[in-house]
Structure 1
Amino acid sequence: MSLNRRLFLAASLAISLVSPSLLGCSAEAEPGPPKTKLYVMGVLHSTHLESEDYSLEVLEAAIRRAAPDVILTEIPPDRIDQAITSFQETGEIDEPRTRVFPEYTEVVFPLSRELDFQIVGTAGWTREIADNRRVALQRIQGNPARAEEWAEHRAASRQFGRDLRGRGRDPLFIHTPEYDALVKAGRTPYQEHFDADLGPGGWTQINKAHTDLINAELDKISGQGFTALVTFGSAHKYKILESIEGRDDIELLDTRVLFE
């Protein structure tokens, strides 16, 4: 092979190894995995039974619009199997914790027969936590040395009710940053004064237990392009939203569109 031929081949190989960006070209990026579409829905538990604005019928219509692949519920993981099994076998739910939530007994579980979604338990609640929290709060309330803290907590709760100005059952208002800010302000004295007393049942730790379970389930379905719906008591909603900040595998959707 001639010297000129060898030099030509060497130059051609060198060019082929140069990054396209250095040659003034742009390489087409590989598409990343699809994001999980996520709705975070605040629910009202038994209040749905008496509310016209946010009735069980309104809730059902919103879930139909969301068309979720998975619903992350305020049911503990160790109780969800019993709830699902009893519903499949009898059409009724015999799991005690689940039975207190009409959004599940009257809407989510019946809809699961028609719509193709999975029901997942993501609540950090336990009976022991609830019992210990009740006893601790009774002890705090009856302690004269903590009367000022208790009064501040009760005043914040009353102010929250006044600030709602009758909008506390409006799903369009519930799913706004303004509502979340009011909830946060109303819960602040409770969180600051009683977290240490309540331990796992305190506002900080119980919400962390909830959000850890929620995010673990979101990790499991990450990159599959699913639509997920979180249904928790509306007071927990701002904590859930805070917990998913910074996740680049999630497309957070505006829940209000489900109620318009």
Structure 2
Amino acid sequence: MKFLVKVLCICFVLTGCKEKTQNEVLVLGTIHGGHYTQEEFDLDVLTKLIKEIDPDVILTEIPPDRFQEAVEGFKRDDSISEPRVIRFPEYKDVIFPLSKTMNFEIIPTAGWTLPMAQERQRKLRAISRDSSRTKDWQEYLNANRRSDSIMRATGNRNDPYFIHTNTYDSIYNIRLQVYNRLFNVELGLGGWDNINIAHYWNIEKALQKYKNQGKRILITYGAGHKGWFLKELRLRDDIKLLEMKPFLDKIQVSE
């Protein structure tokens, strides 16, 4: 009997240790330039939200080959000048400035490259003008309209509460499923599944690097990527996925 109790105690301790060392992971869907114009999710809200989350690590939609230049420019001029990173106010105006007063590590994880983006743009333009692809292009446009219509009827696409719901992901996925089915293979590295695989490969490397270290890891990407990432993250048993709502609630109360 004493032996059984001892075994149970050991199991309890081991289980408790495992739970304590699991990393907490959140996926924050951003609206890029919309943070400048949308009051409900402006730079101030984003700043308060990241402060409330208080991450140890932030995995960003910054390509690794652009990161060092962005860091050096920020150290030199106290601002971001790197052409790709400057497009994202969440980094230029929030995360890099916060890094001066908060203790988190910024890790670039985007699979984006300029040649890939240029090739995708060229191929999409060609498809839109190809008379033999009229049916496909129209199906894609119709899916966009249907997604937009349902989004307008269901919630405010710029509201951080709505963005961080499964409903938002499902509605956004109406357009993405069609886009992916019709064009993913044809667009090569710029296809929807393909680019998300490239992003997630880098994200997964970072998750493995810090596996079971009890850190809070924040993933920041455009909101459209959130559903794709969450689908993969939910397959992991070494992390604890946190909801965004409790953190949004806290900053609402503090205002």
TM-score when scaled to structure 1?
0.89
Distance 2:183 2:2 in 1: 59
TM alignment of 1:117-132, pairs within 5 A: 117-132=104-119
* Structure with greater proportional helix content: 2
For 1:12, the equivalent position in structure 2 comes to: none
- Give 2:146's aligned residue: 159
Question: SS at 2:41's partner residue?
Answer: coil
Task: Name the residue aligned to 1:63.
Answer: 50
**Does 2:63 correspond to 1:91?**
no
Q: CA deviation at 1:258?
A: 2.1
Secondary structure, aligned partner of 1:41: strand
Alignment partners' CA distance in 2, 1:205 and 1:103: 24
Give the residue type in structure 1 aligned to 2:71: I
1:173 alignment partner in structure 2: 162
Tell me what 1:206 maps to.
195
User: Structure 2: which amino acid aligns with 1:149?
Assistant: D
Supply the distance in 2 between the matched residues of 1:24 and 1:191 (Cα, whole angstroms): 54
Query: What are the superposed Cα offsets for residues 45-74 of structure 1, whole Å, 9 maximum, x if unpaired?
Result: 001111011101100010000000111100
Equivalent residues in 2 for 1:27-38 (5 A)?
27-29=9-11, 30=14, 31-32=17-18, 34-38=21-25
Please give the secondary structure, in 2, of the residue aligned with 1:225.
coil
- Give, as a single letter, the amino acid of the residue that structure 2 aligns with 1:228: I
The letter for the 2-side match of 1:67 is D
| Residue 242 of structure 1: how far off its partner (Å) | 1.1
Quote the residue 2:59 is aligned against: 72
The count of residues paired between Structure 1 and Structure 2 equals 242
Is residue 238 of structure 1 aligned with residue 245 of structure 2?
no
Aligned partners of 1:74 and 1:88: how far apart in 2? 20
- Structure 1 Cα separation of the partners of residues 237 and 37 of structure 2: 39
CA apart distance, 1:26: 3.1
Q: Is the 8 A contact 2:147 2:172 kept in 1?
A: yes
Q: What is residue 112 of structure 1 aligned with on the other side?
A: 99
Quick check: 1:20–1:27 contact (8 Å CA) kept in 2?
Answer: no
1:49 aligns with 2:31: no
* Corresponding residue number in structure 1 for 2:177: 188
- Partners of 2:198 and 2:210 in 1: CA distance: 19
Secondary structure at 1:229 match in 2 = strand
- Structure 1, unpaired ranges of 5+: 1-17
Letter in structure 1 aligned against 2:136: E
Q: Report how far residue 19 of structure 1 moved.
A: 11
Determine the C-alpha separation between the residues in 2 that align with 1:82 and 1:249: 33
Which digits, 9 at most, give the CA deviation of each residue in 1:174-232, with x for residues without a partner?
00000011111121111001112101000010000011111110111111111111000
Contact 2:35 2:41 in 1 (8 A): yes
Cα RMSD, aligned residues only: 1.7
Contact preservation (8 Å) 2:234, 2:241: no
Shift of 1:257: 1.9
% identity of equivalent residues: 37
1:90–1:150 distance in 2 versus 1, CA, 3 Å: same
Q: CA deviation at 1:173?
A: 0.4
Shift of 1:84: 1.1
Kindly state the Cα deviation for residue 25 of structure 1 after the two structures are TM-superposed: 6.2
Q: Which amino acid aligns with 1:26?
A: L
Question: TM-score, normalized by length of structure 2?
Answer: 0.91
